[in-house]
Amino acid sequence: MRLPGVVSFVIAALCLAGCSSTSGMDALDMQQPSNETTSSVVRPSAPIASVPVAKAKARKLAEAAPVDEPARPFGLAEEETAMLATPELPDSPELPDSAEPPVEAAALVSPSKLLSRNGPPMFAGSIMRYGFRDAKPINFGRSSPRHLAVHGVDVSRWQGDVNWGKLRAQGANFAYIKATDGGDHLDPMFMKNWRGADAAGLKRGAYHFFYWCRVASEQADWFIRNVPKVDGALPPVIDVEWNGDSSCKRRPSREKVLEKMQVFMDKLERHYGQRPIIYTSPDFYRDNLQGAFFDYPFWVRAVARHPSKVYPDRKWLFWQYSGSGLSHGVTGRIDLNVFHGDERQWRAWAGGGGRQMMADVD
Protein backbone atom coordinates (compact mmCIF):
# COMPACT_ATOMS: atom_id res chain seq x y z
CA MET A 1 0.00 0.00 0.00
CA ARG A 2 2.85 2.40 0.77
CA LEU A 3 4.81 1.68 -2.48
CA PRO A 4 2.13 2.86 -4.87
CA GLY A 5 1.74 5.99 -2.73
CA VAL A 6 5.46 6.77 -2.92
CA VAL A 7 5.47 6.16 -6.68
CA SER A 8 2.52 8.47 -7.13
CA PHE A 9 4.27 11.17 -5.10
CA VAL A 10 7.44 10.90 -7.23
CA ILE A 11 5.45 11.06 -10.49
CA ALA A 12 3.58 14.12 -9.28
CA ALA A 13 6.84 15.85 -8.33
CA LEU A 14 8.36 15.15 -11.74
CA CYS A 15 5.33 16.63 -13.48
CA LEU A 16 5.56 19.79 -11.43
CA ALA A 17 9.28 20.13 -12.24
CA GLY A 18 8.56 19.73 -15.95
CA CYS A 19 5.94 22.45 -15.87
CA SER A 20 8.34 24.81 -14.08
CA SER A 21 11.08 24.08 -16.63
CA THR A 22 8.75 24.79 -19.53
CA SER A 23 7.78 28.13 -18.05
CA GLY A 24 11.48 29.03 -17.77
CA MET A 25 12.10 28.24 -21.45
CA ASP A 26 9.12 30.37 -22.42
CA ALA A 27 10.65 33.27 -20.50
CA LEU A 28 14.00 32.80 -22.26
CA ASP A 29 12.28 32.71 -25.64
CA MET A 30 10.58 36.01 -24.87
CA GLN A 31 13.95 37.66 -24.06
CA GLN A 32 15.78 36.47 -27.19
CA PRO A 33 16.42 39.18 -29.80
CA SER A 34 14.23 39.23 -32.85
CA ASN A 35 15.58 38.01 -36.17
CA GLU A 36 14.06 41.05 -37.85
CA THR A 37 16.40 43.76 -39.11
CA THR A 38 16.05 47.48 -39.64
CA SER A 39 17.91 49.78 -41.95
CA SER A 40 20.39 50.70 -39.22
CA VAL A 41 20.63 47.72 -36.86
CA VAL A 42 21.34 44.05 -37.66
CA ARG A 43 20.19 41.83 -34.82
CA PRO A 44 21.89 38.49 -34.07
CA SER A 45 19.99 35.28 -34.83
CA ALA A 46 21.21 33.55 -31.64
CA PRO A 47 21.56 34.67 -28.02
CA ILE A 48 24.80 36.51 -27.29
CA ALA A 49 27.12 34.95 -24.76
CA SER A 50 27.76 36.95 -21.62
CA VAL A 51 30.67 39.42 -21.89
CA PRO A 52 32.80 40.67 -18.97
CA VAL A 53 32.01 44.24 -17.95
CA ALA A 54 35.37 45.66 -19.10
CA LYS A 55 35.06 44.11 -22.55
CA ALA A 56 31.47 45.27 -22.86
CA LYS A 57 32.48 48.85 -22.07
CA ALA A 58 35.34 48.70 -24.57
CA ARG A 59 32.99 47.37 -27.23
CA LYS A 60 30.49 50.17 -26.61
CA LEU A 61 33.23 52.79 -26.87
CA ALA A 62 34.47 51.28 -30.14
CA GLU A 63 30.94 51.26 -31.59
CA ALA A 64 30.37 54.86 -30.58
CA ALA A 65 33.70 56.18 -31.93
CA PRO A 66 33.54 58.02 -35.28
CA VAL A 67 35.16 56.43 -38.31
CA ASP A 68 38.19 58.42 -39.39
CA GLU A 69 38.56 59.55 -42.94
CA PRO A 70 41.55 58.13 -44.82
CA ALA A 71 44.66 60.27 -44.75
CA ARG A 72 46.02 61.80 -47.91
CA PRO A 73 49.58 60.81 -48.84
CA PHE A 74 51.02 64.33 -48.99
CA GLY A 75 50.21 67.97 -48.52
CA LEU A 76 48.93 69.89 -45.50
CA ALA A 77 48.18 68.73 -42.00
CA GLU A 78 46.06 65.63 -42.52
CA GLU A 79 48.16 64.06 -45.24
CA GLU A 80 51.06 62.47 -43.38
CA THR A 81 50.84 63.31 -39.70
CA ALA A 82 48.61 61.70 -37.12
CA MET A 83 47.61 58.71 -39.24
CA LEU A 84 51.17 57.43 -38.94
CA ALA A 85 52.32 55.45 -35.92
CA THR A 86 52.96 57.80 -33.04
CA PRO A 87 56.66 57.69 -32.14
CA GLU A 88 58.09 58.33 -28.76
CA LEU A 89 60.03 61.58 -28.55
CA PRO A 90 63.66 60.46 -28.96
CA ASP A 91 66.37 61.27 -26.47
CA SER A 92 68.27 64.41 -27.38
CA PRO A 93 71.09 66.26 -25.69
CA GLU A 94 69.34 69.51 -26.61
CA LEU A 95 65.92 68.58 -25.27
CA PRO A 96 65.60 65.51 -23.01
CA ASP A 97 62.22 63.85 -22.73
CA SER A 98 61.82 64.99 -19.13
CA ALA A 99 62.28 68.68 -19.96
CA GLU A 100 60.00 71.23 -21.56
CA PRO A 101 61.41 73.05 -24.60
CA PRO A 102 63.18 76.27 -23.63
CA VAL A 103 61.32 79.53 -24.05
CA GLU A 104 63.60 82.11 -25.67
CA ALA A 105 62.24 85.47 -26.73
CA ALA A 106 63.88 87.47 -29.49
CA ALA A 107 66.21 90.28 -28.40
CA LEU A 108 64.16 92.80 -30.39
CA VAL A 109 61.08 92.32 -28.26
CA SER A 110 59.93 94.78 -25.63
CA PRO A 111 57.69 92.47 -23.57
CA SER A 112 54.43 94.18 -22.75
CA LYS A 113 51.99 91.49 -21.76
CA LEU A 114 52.69 88.22 -20.00
CA LEU A 115 50.75 85.15 -21.11
CA SER A 116 50.44 81.96 -19.10
CA ARG A 117 47.56 80.06 -20.68
CA ASN A 118 48.03 76.33 -21.24
CA GLY A 119 51.80 76.41 -20.85
CA PRO A 120 54.88 78.17 -19.56
CA PRO A 121 54.85 81.98 -19.22
CA MET A 122 55.74 83.90 -22.35
CA PHE A 123 55.44 87.41 -23.69
CA ALA A 124 52.81 88.47 -26.19
CA GLY A 125 54.32 89.34 -29.54
CA SER A 126 57.64 87.61 -28.89
CA ILE A 127 59.32 85.47 -31.52
CA MET A 128 59.74 82.00 -30.07
CA ARG A 129 62.94 80.26 -31.13
CA TYR A 130 63.00 76.94 -32.97
CA GLY A 131 62.70 74.04 -30.52
CA PHE A 132 61.10 71.27 -32.60
CA ARG A 133 62.56 67.88 -33.36
CA ASP A 134 61.96 65.74 -36.42
CA ALA A 135 61.28 62.02 -36.73
CA LYS A 136 62.83 62.11 -40.22
CA PRO A 137 65.34 64.97 -40.17
CA ILE A 138 66.77 66.23 -43.46
CA ASN A 139 70.15 67.91 -43.71
CA PHE A 140 69.52 71.02 -45.82
CA GLY A 141 73.06 72.23 -45.20
CA ARG A 142 73.58 75.98 -45.39
CA SER A 143 69.98 76.32 -46.57
CA SER A 144 68.55 74.85 -43.37
CA PRO A 145 65.22 76.34 -42.34
CA ARG A 146 66.70 76.70 -38.85
CA HIS A 147 68.58 79.73 -40.13
CA LEU A 148 65.24 81.52 -40.59
CA ALA A 149 63.68 83.24 -37.60
CA VAL A 150 59.94 82.60 -37.66
CA HIS A 151 58.64 79.03 -37.57
CA GLY A 152 55.08 77.77 -37.41
CA VAL A 153 52.79 74.79 -37.95
CA ASP A 154 49.68 73.72 -39.80
CA VAL A 155 47.08 71.54 -38.11
CA SER A 156 43.78 69.79 -38.67
CA ARG A 157 41.60 67.23 -36.91
CA TRP A 158 44.40 64.66 -37.17
CA GLN A 159 46.44 66.42 -34.48
CA GLY A 160 43.63 65.84 -32.00
CA ASP A 161 43.49 68.02 -28.91
CA VAL A 162 46.37 70.48 -29.34
CA ASN A 163 48.12 72.02 -26.33
CA TRP A 164 48.67 75.39 -27.93
CA GLY A 165 50.69 76.82 -25.04
CA LYS A 166 53.28 74.05 -25.30
CA LEU A 167 53.31 74.26 -29.08
CA ARG A 168 53.99 77.98 -28.92
CA ALA A 169 56.72 77.53 -26.30
CA GLN A 170 58.46 75.03 -28.56
CA GLY A 171 58.71 77.49 -31.42
CA ALA A 172 55.34 77.89 -33.17
CA ASN A 173 54.82 81.58 -33.93
CA PHE A 174 51.98 81.04 -36.40
CA ALA A 175 49.46 78.33 -37.25
CA TYR A 176 47.49 77.63 -40.37
CA ILE A 177 44.36 75.71 -39.40
CA LYS A 178 42.33 73.42 -41.63
CA ALA A 179 38.87 74.93 -42.05
CA THR A 180 37.08 73.49 -45.05
CA ASP A 181 37.33 71.40 -48.17
CA GLY A 182 35.01 71.17 -51.11
CA GLY A 183 31.64 72.81 -50.66
CA ASP A 184 30.23 71.00 -47.64
CA HIS A 185 32.96 69.74 -45.28
CA LEU A 186 34.07 71.61 -42.17
CA ASP A 187 36.99 70.30 -40.12
CA PRO A 188 35.38 69.36 -36.77
CA MET A 189 38.33 70.82 -34.81
CA PHE A 190 38.49 74.12 -36.69
CA MET A 191 36.80 76.45 -34.21
CA LYS A 192 38.53 74.89 -31.21
CA ASN A 193 41.92 75.25 -32.91
CA TRP A 194 41.06 78.74 -34.15
CA ARG A 195 40.34 79.95 -30.61
CA GLY A 196 43.14 77.98 -28.97
CA ALA A 197 45.87 79.30 -31.25
CA ASP A 198 44.78 82.87 -30.64
CA ALA A 199 44.60 82.41 -26.86
CA ALA A 200 48.18 81.08 -26.82
CA GLY A 201 49.50 84.09 -28.74
CA LEU A 202 50.03 82.58 -32.22
CA LYS A 203 49.19 84.40 -35.41
CA ARG A 204 46.48 82.29 -37.05
CA GLY A 205 45.08 81.73 -40.49
CA ALA A 206 42.72 79.26 -42.14
CA TYR A 207 43.13 77.08 -45.20
CA HIS A 208 40.78 75.40 -47.66
CA PHE A 209 41.49 72.16 -49.50
CA PHE A 210 40.28 72.72 -53.07
CA TYR A 211 38.06 70.03 -54.58
CA TRP A 212 38.25 69.69 -58.35
CA CYS A 213 34.77 68.19 -58.67
CA ARG A 214 32.99 71.20 -57.15
CA VAL A 215 32.14 74.66 -58.49
CA ALA A 216 34.77 77.18 -57.35
CA SER A 217 32.28 79.86 -56.27
CA GLU A 218 30.42 77.36 -54.08
CA GLN A 219 33.67 76.43 -52.36
CA ALA A 220 34.46 80.09 -51.72
CA ASP A 221 30.99 80.63 -50.24
CA TRP A 222 31.45 77.64 -47.95
CA PHE A 223 34.81 78.91 -46.69
CA ILE A 224 33.43 82.42 -46.09
CA ARG A 225 30.46 80.96 -44.24
CA ASN A 226 32.69 79.09 -41.80
CA VAL A 227 35.82 81.23 -41.34
CA PRO A 228 35.38 84.44 -39.33
CA LYS A 229 36.59 87.75 -40.71
CA VAL A 230 38.88 88.83 -37.87
CA ASP A 231 41.30 91.72 -37.61
CA GLY A 232 44.87 90.48 -37.32
CA ALA A 233 44.23 87.06 -38.87
CA LEU A 234 46.66 85.86 -41.52
CA PRO A 235 45.47 85.74 -45.14
CA PRO A 236 43.36 82.72 -46.19
CA VAL A 237 45.08 79.88 -48.01
CA ILE A 238 43.92 77.82 -50.98
CA ASP A 239 45.50 74.35 -50.88
CA VAL A 240 45.80 73.03 -54.44
CA GLU A 241 47.23 69.58 -55.15
CA TRP A 242 46.39 66.28 -56.79
CA ASN A 243 44.94 63.82 -54.32
CA GLY A 244 44.82 60.20 -55.45
CA ASP A 245 42.87 59.10 -52.37
CA SER A 246 39.99 61.47 -53.00
CA SER A 247 36.67 60.29 -54.40
CA CYS A 248 37.16 62.99 -57.01
CA LYS A 249 39.60 61.66 -59.62
CA ARG A 250 39.17 64.57 -61.99
CA ARG A 251 42.30 66.38 -63.19
CA PRO A 252 41.18 69.41 -65.18
CA SER A 253 43.34 71.02 -67.82
CA ARG A 254 45.83 73.68 -66.74
CA GLU A 255 43.58 76.39 -68.18
CA LYS A 256 40.59 75.13 -66.18
CA VAL A 257 42.66 74.81 -63.01
CA LEU A 258 43.84 78.42 -63.26
CA GLU A 259 40.32 79.63 -64.04
CA LYS A 260 38.77 77.87 -61.04
CA MET A 261 41.51 79.06 -58.71
CA GLN A 262 41.05 82.64 -59.86
CA VAL A 263 37.31 82.55 -59.20
CA PHE A 264 37.87 81.18 -55.70
CA MET A 265 40.66 83.61 -54.83
CA ASP A 266 38.86 86.67 -56.17
CA LYS A 267 35.84 85.96 -54.01
CA LEU A 268 37.94 85.48 -50.87
CA GLU A 269 39.95 88.63 -51.52
CA ARG A 270 36.80 90.71 -51.89
CA HIS A 271 35.42 89.37 -48.60
CA TYR A 272 38.50 89.34 -46.37
CA GLY A 273 40.39 92.26 -47.92
CA GLN A 274 43.53 90.09 -48.13
CA ARG A 275 45.14 88.43 -51.10
CA PRO A 276 44.98 84.64 -50.59
CA ILE A 277 48.12 82.55 -50.34
CA ILE A 278 48.55 79.57 -52.67
CA TYR A 279 49.80 76.34 -51.06
CA THR A 280 51.01 73.66 -53.45
CA SER A 281 53.15 70.55 -53.90
CA PRO A 282 55.87 69.86 -56.49
CA ASP A 283 53.87 67.71 -58.90
CA PHE A 284 50.85 70.00 -58.97
CA TYR A 285 53.09 73.03 -59.41
CA ARG A 286 54.88 71.37 -62.32
CA ASP A 287 51.58 70.46 -64.01
CA ASN A 288 49.74 73.74 -63.50
CA LEU A 289 51.40 76.68 -61.77
CA GLN A 290 54.75 77.31 -63.42
CA GLY A 291 54.61 80.77 -64.94
CA ALA A 292 51.27 81.63 -63.29
CA PHE A 293 50.08 83.83 -60.40
CA PHE A 294 53.32 85.75 -59.90
CA ASP A 295 51.33 88.45 -58.09
CA TYR A 296 50.20 85.99 -55.40
CA PRO A 297 52.21 84.80 -52.38
CA PHE A 298 53.16 81.12 -52.45
CA TRP A 299 53.49 78.55 -49.67
CA VAL A 300 55.53 75.65 -51.06
CA ARG A 301 56.10 72.11 -49.90
CA ALA A 302 59.69 70.86 -50.15
CA VAL A 303 60.62 68.21 -47.58
CA ALA A 304 63.77 66.82 -49.23
CA ARG A 305 65.42 69.79 -50.98
CA HIS A 306 65.42 73.55 -50.62
CA PRO A 307 62.57 75.32 -52.47
CA SER A 308 65.08 77.00 -54.77
CA LYS A 309 65.80 73.55 -56.21
CA VAL A 310 62.18 72.40 -56.40
CA TYR A 311 60.59 75.68 -57.51
CA PRO A 312 63.49 77.48 -59.23
CA ASP A 313 61.40 80.24 -60.80
CA ARG A 314 59.23 81.03 -57.81
CA LYS A 315 59.51 83.46 -54.90
CA TRP A 316 57.89 81.98 -51.83
CA LEU A 317 56.47 83.32 -48.57
CA PHE A 318 56.18 80.11 -46.52
CA TRP A 319 58.11 76.83 -46.77
CA GLN A 320 56.72 73.57 -45.44
CA TYR A 321 59.96 71.75 -44.77
CA SER A 322 58.79 68.74 -42.76
CA GLY A 323 55.75 66.53 -42.31
CA SER A 324 57.26 64.61 -39.41
CA GLY A 325 57.85 67.20 -36.71
CA LEU A 326 57.69 66.24 -33.04
CA SER A 327 56.31 68.49 -30.33
CA HIS A 328 55.18 68.29 -26.73
CA GLY A 329 52.04 70.14 -27.83
CA VAL A 330 50.57 67.32 -29.93
CA THR A 331 50.43 63.55 -29.93
CA GLY A 332 52.00 62.26 -33.11
CA ARG A 333 53.60 64.18 -35.94
CA ILE A 334 53.01 67.69 -37.15
CA ASP A 335 53.87 69.73 -40.24
CA LEU A 336 56.62 72.32 -39.74
CA ASN A 337 56.82 75.57 -41.70
CA VAL A 338 58.96 78.69 -41.81
CA PHE A 339 58.41 82.28 -42.93
CA HIS A 340 60.76 83.61 -45.63
CA GLY A 341 62.12 86.65 -43.89
CA ASP A 342 63.61 87.99 -40.68
CA GLU A 343 61.86 89.17 -37.53
CA ARG A 344 61.43 92.72 -38.78
CA GLN A 345 59.86 91.54 -42.03
CA TRP A 346 57.58 89.16 -40.16
CA ARG A 347 56.33 91.92 -37.89
CA ALA A 348 55.72 94.24 -40.84
CA TRP A 349 53.89 91.56 -42.84
CA ALA A 350 51.89 89.91 -40.05
CA GLY A 351 51.16 93.22 -38.37
CA GLY A 352 49.73 94.52 -41.61
CA GLY A 353 47.32 91.59 -41.88
CA GLY A 354 49.47 89.94 -44.53
CA ARG A 355 48.73 92.69 -47.05
CA GLN A 356 52.37 93.44 -47.78
CA MET A 357 53.96 91.29 -50.46
CA MET A 358 57.38 89.80 -49.78
CA ALA A 359 58.67 90.33 -53.29
CA ASP A 360 61.95 91.73 -52.03
CA VAL A 361 62.81 88.74 -49.84
CA ASP A 362 65.63 86.68 -51.34
Q: State yes or no: is 69 an active-site residue.
A: no
Annotated catalytic residue: which of 78, 79, 80, 241? 241
Contact 338, 150 (CB under 8 A): yes
Q: Which residues are catalytic?
A: 241
